Amino acid sequence: MNKSDHFIKIARNKFKFGLFLFSKLPVAYISGVRVKEIDSTQAVVGLPFKFLTKNPFKSVYFASQAMAAELSTGVLALLHTYGHNPPISMLVFQMKADFVKKAKSNILFECSEGDKIKNAVDECIQTGKGITVEVKSIGTDKTGDCVAEFYFTWSFKVKE
Prior bond to 86 cis, omega within 30? yes
Kindly report the length of the chain. 160
Residues 6+ away with beta carbon under 8 Å from 138: 109, 110, 111, 146, 148, 149, 150
Question: Distances in Å between the alpha carbon of 151 and those of 20, 52, 103, 109?
Answer: 24, 24, 18, 12
Local mean pLDDT, 10-residue blocks, the chain (160 residues): 82 87 91 94 96 91 96 96 90 96 96 97 93 98 96 94
User: pLDDT digits over 86-125, tens only?
Assistant: 899 999 999 999 999 999 999 999 999 999 999 999 999 9
Q: Model's pTM, two decimal places?
A: 0.93
Hey, what amino acid is at 3?
K
CB 148 within 8 A of CB 63: no
Q: What is the CATH number of domain 3-158?
A: 3.10.129.10
Angstrom distance (rounded) from CA 26 to CA 157 = 25
